[in-house]
Every structure is written in C-alpha cells, then in structure tokens.
Structure 1
C-alpha cells in the first residue's frame, strides 16, 4: 500500500507538474495568440499605411504630371511670347526706318520750302522794285507826254500864227 501511495503521490506530483506545464503552455499559447493578434493589428495598420502611401504616391504622381503639363504650357506660352516679342522688335525696327526716312524727307521738304520762301521773298522784293520803277517810269512818261502835248500845242499855235500871218 505504501508503494501504491508513493506511486500515487508520484503520479499526482507528475500530474500536478504536467498541469503546471500545461497551464504554462496555455499561458504561452495565450501570450503567443495575443502577440499574433497584435502582429495582425500591426500588419493591418502597415497595410493601411501602405495603402495611404500608395494613394499619396498616386496623388503626387498626378500632381507631378499636372505640374509637368503646366510647365509645358508655360514653356509654349513663353515661346509664343518670345516670338511675338521678336516680331514686335522687327516691326519696331521697320517703323524706326520709316520714321528716319520720313524725317529725311521732311528735312528735304523743309529745306525746299525755305528755298522757295527765300526765292518768293526775293521775287516779291524784285517785283516791288519793278513796281517802283514802273511807277517812276509812268510818272516820267506822263510828264514827258504832258510836255510833248504842250509842245505840240505850242507848235500848233505857232504854226497857226505863222499861217495867219502869212495868209
């Protein structure tokens, strides 16, 4: 009986020890289960983070494409503006040439006009002098005519007197 009691004792101790080990295993399993659940939660969080990062990357890529298109449009507008500027500069050069040509033409016209005015003034002066000479000649001619008429009258009178005295 004693041996049986000892065996029972031993078996109970083993059983108790196995219970303890089983309890430890269950605790380890629970701890591992908790860790797995935590890891699962972390994995889901990481997946969500990756999903968010992917969305962010897609958004940034779209923004980069939009900005690239805006840069391309801005470059085209700049090239167009540069072309317009060059055309405007060419028109400005042509306009300046036309202004220079018209300025020379105006100077020539002014010089010609001044020469004509000087010529007209000289001709007016000569015409005035000619009028003065003409007036003087007219006065002299009238005086000469008067003298001649008086002479003719005098000669007629003298001739009549001579004819009347001879007759």
Structure 2
C-alpha cells in the first residue's frame, strides 16, 4: 500500500498535463472559476457515518472544457478530507447542450485509521488516487451536478461561475 502515493502523484501529473492539450494555453490559464457546494447521501446507512455531509469545491474551467480544482469536505466518518483533481467536461449535443458529463481524476487525502480501508488503494498516510464521474446541467453560469462516489454515495451540488 505504501507504493500507492507515487501512483497518485503520477495520476495527478498526467491529468494536469492533459489540461494543457492546446499548445497555445498554459495549464494554469482558465476561462472562469466555478464554485459548487452540496451534500451527499449514502446508498446504505451505517452507524459509523459521522458528521455533516457537506462538500465545497472551486474549479478553474478552461474554454476547451478541461478543468482543475480542489474539493474540501468531511468524509463519511467525520474526517476532514480533500480532493485535488483535473478533468474534462463533455457536453451533450443539440437540444441537450446544457447537459454534460464530467470525469475528474486526482488524489484524495483524509481517509485515515480506522477508516483507511474505505476507499480503494488508500495508503497508510491517507492518500489515494480517485476517478470521479458526474452528470450535470449548466446554463447562464448556474449549474447542478449529480456526482457518483463509487459504490458508497451520491453527491448533489449546485454552483455558479464567477
């Protein structure tokens, strides 16, 4: 398990490199910021679930639909956690153009003992790679997403550009 941290760093580096797919843009340049916040619900209840199910994230979104961001949340077990990620958004065609599919990849930190086995590939110091898909709707700078958190939960967010 201690070998997972380099894998997580490599995964983040690869996603960041993809953000600069257009040679005329630098990876850190972005079109606008998008803030979204929400709450999650578990597929099944557990007496181990603790604390508020609150989530907040700030994304830098690029005109070529690549993005990068940082999410802050208390995990299901009341531990402060973070997700540093890069990703891409794909828009649905024609009459569905305001709907999108988003896929992000990065590193998750914060799942520590005794809950360190609750996410795959978690290292003993609380770092794990993450790949997270979502479906959403966005129009005139306001949006909402349903984010699929593996076989554990659904995260519902609302957000806005600024």
| TM-score, normalising length: structure 2 | 0.14
Structure with bigger gyration radius: 1
